[in-house]
Amino acid sequence: MQQNWKADFPVFAQFPDMVYLDSAATSQKPAAVIAAEAAYYREANANPLRGLYDLSVRATDAYENAREAVRGFIGAASAREIVFTRNATESLNLIAYSWGRSELHSGDEILVAISEHHSNMLPWQSLARETGAALHYLECDSSGVYTEEALRAALTPNTKIFAIAQISNVFGRISAIADFARICHENGTLIVCDGAQSVPHIPVNVQALDVDFLAFSGHKMFAPMGIGVLYGKEALLRKMPPFLYGGEMIEYVTREGAEYAELPHKFEAGTVNVGGAVGLHAAIDYVNAVGFAEIVRREDALTAFAVQEMRQIPHVTIIGGDDPAAHHGIVTFAVDGVHPHDIAAIFDSDSIAIRAGHHCAQPLHQHIGVSSTARMSLAFYNDEQDVEKFVDTLKTVRRRMGFER
Amino acid sequence: MSDNFYDEVLIDHNLHPQHLHDLPGATCSHAGMNPSCGDEITLHLEMRGGIIADGSFTGIGCAISQASADIMLDLIIGRTPEEARKLAALFRKMIGGEITPEELEILEEAGALQNIARMPARVKCATLGWRTLEHLLETAD
Ligand SMILES: Cc1ncc(COP(=O)(O)O)c(C=O)c1O
């Protein structure tokens, strides 16, 4: 743990005493990303894709170069398969609206993992209501494990699509997406992978996983807020109707209708977020420079350290079990007798940022029988001292709430 | 926020709430919800002879919502609905950071929640009981 990666992130110079353990909500941004977005607005800003002059060509190039960087980052076959959105939520909604409303009918079934973030659940609920398709949930055990047997048993000849996160934002557990994709495809079912918590932390290759769709957010992977990605297999995207209508997504328009633009522009109506895309490009370059070997090594070591310390503290329960290897940078927990909001407030008074609540996964909390929990989540820029401070405060929570005095 | 935000007053009302129980003689009840954090309390009042003769709350929530509701009941039991409404208005004023020292005296132990204004995410917890009370008095009239 020698390297001080925090030096790359200006926010830590601004708040040297802060311990930031909420990276699953949003990551901090390295100076390189902030500078890249600023440089775009200083040196290349124009409305891309439409201007017939040099500056607009620069903006267009910056945008399309970012798309190519994303393609390479997730191993997609073609840049036509990379659609820029605002965030994972919009990507998932795009699938549900465009693919869903054109392909699903009453009698069809949608299968959604019960631990999904609301962003990968509510679009499917609404799709089911509108089309008359049936919505079913795939249940996990109390450690957040989804088995192949359970998936096989849940799939029926009518299951058209299965939605699941690669890493759950509550358990931090990795699901065997490649195996699930194979099982789904044998059944003629598409698989949507929510990569919001995985793409920033582990190498993800869409062709190796063979997922049909992958959604993720830039802001959780060191990029600015407001830029996200939808990956979709080209054959699927080609058949899907546009999601939003307007400028930039047409070939030509008549009084009667329009011919839609080529992929991926068909799905990018209106003026796009070039600054955000440039920032995402810089974030990808940054992640590649640090390297996933380093990122995974640090995050796994810090997670294991945290779990080992936490499981020795009386009255602390780790959601999803005590196995350090099961939590990838995300440790959700409860403290007997103390409401998670009070836990977070006590951490805040020690300048430690953690999350409390249902983490946008209320059905999961109902499933595991708690109404809310606290969550600490790491990124590779965290260090052992951060975890030590976290553990020190955690040990004091019950006493500071009046227990065992 | 200072280390002692959870001072003795809040801790005591949270760990040993006097008014957290059913109220068999209740003449009116109302459920209040704080959807963002799952806090859920039901306020029960027993109105007799134009005063709040007794009151209680049931439900679950964070220390702030529980302690605040318990302190509120200490304040309003034995008062008229009109007096309770005035206290609720004062409490809101305190949360809004506009209360005078004299007014703060009137709120007694509820003054322990004065600094909640600096934690916007928790304001809803502190006001849950009071909001539920206001609703109850409105509909009970
Ligand atoms: C697993 C998962 N999916 C989706 C989202 C939604 O991300 P965003 O709010 O960036 O759209 C999150 C973020 O909290 C998440 O953790």
Q: Domains, chain A, ranges and CATH?
A: 5-21+291-400 (3.90.1150.10), 33-287 (3.40.640.10)
Residue B118: predicted pLDDT: 79
Alpha carbon dihedral A298, A172, A359, A224, in 10-degree steps, equals 40
Q: Nearest to residue A350, comparing CAs of A396, A312, A307?
A: A396
Q: Chain-wide mean pLDDT for chain A?
A: 94
Ligand 1 atom nearest the C-alpha of A228 is 10
Q: Pull the structure tokens for residue B78.
A: 């034995």
- Contact residues of A toward B, CB < 8 A: 338-342, 345-346, 348-350, 356-358, 371-372, 400-403
Check CB contact under 8 Å for A402 and B60: no
Burial zone of A43 (CB within 10 Å; 0-12 exposed, 13-18 middle, 19+ buried) = exposed
Question: How far out from the chain centre does Cα A189 lie?
Answer: 22
The pLDDT tens digits for A272-320 are 999 999 999 999 999 999 999 999 999 999 999 999 999 999 999 999 9
Q: Is the pLDDT of residue A17 over 80?
A: yes
Question: Can you tell me the mean pLDDT for A251-264?
Answer: 81
Please check the confidence at residue B140 and state whether its pLDDT lies above 90. no
Q: Which residues span the domain enclosing B122?
A: 3-140
Give how far B100 is from chain A: nearest CA, Å: 26
Question: What's at A276, amino acid-wise?
Answer: G
Chain B, window 88-127: residues with a beta carbon less than 8 angstroms from a chain A beta carbon: 119, 121-122, 125
Q: What is the mean pLDDT of residues A323-341?
A: 93
Phi/psi zone of residue A399: left (φ > 0), alpha (ψ -120 to 50 degrees), beta? Answer: alpha
Q: Band of the pLDDT at A251, cuts 50, 70, 90?
A: confident
- Helices A292-310, A274-290: axis angle to 10 degrees equals 80
Across the strands, what pairs with B31? B42
Q: Phi/psi class of residue A353: alpha, beta or left (left: φ > 0; alpha: ψ in -120 to 50)?
A: beta
Q: Tell how far the Cα of A217 is from the centroid of ligand 1, in angstroms.
A: 7
Count of alpha carbons within 13 angstroms of residue A52, beta-carbon side? 0
**Tokens 């690669």 belong to which residue?**
A166
Cβ atoms within 10 Å, residue B104: 15
Q: Residues A71, A77, A80, A83: is their CA dihedral positive or negative?
A: negative
> Residue range A132-156: average pLDDT?
96
Ordered DSSP codes for B7-24:
-HHHHHHHHS-SSBS--T
Into how many domains does chain B fold? Answer: 1
DSSP, collapsed to helix, strand or coil, labels residue B71 as helix
| pLDDT surpassing 60 at residue A1 | no
Length of chain B: 141
- What residue of B is the nearest CA neighbor of A371? B38
Residue B69 at interface with chain A, using a CB cutoff of 8 Å? no
The span from the CA of A278 to the CA of A208, in Å, is 26
| Nearest atom (ligand 1) to Cα of A225 | 10
Whether residue B2 has pLDDT greater than 60? no
The distance from CA B99 to its chain's CA centroid, rounded to whole angstroms, is: 17
Percent of chain A with pLDDT over 70: 99
pLDDT of res. A256? 78
Which amino acid is residue A110, in one-letter code? I
* DSSP helix/strand/coil, A170: coil
CATH code of the domain containing B23: 3.90.1010.10
A358/B38 touch (CB, cutoff 8 Å), yes or no: yes
pLDDT score at A250? 74
Greatest extent of chain B over all pairs of C-alpha atoms, in Å: 44
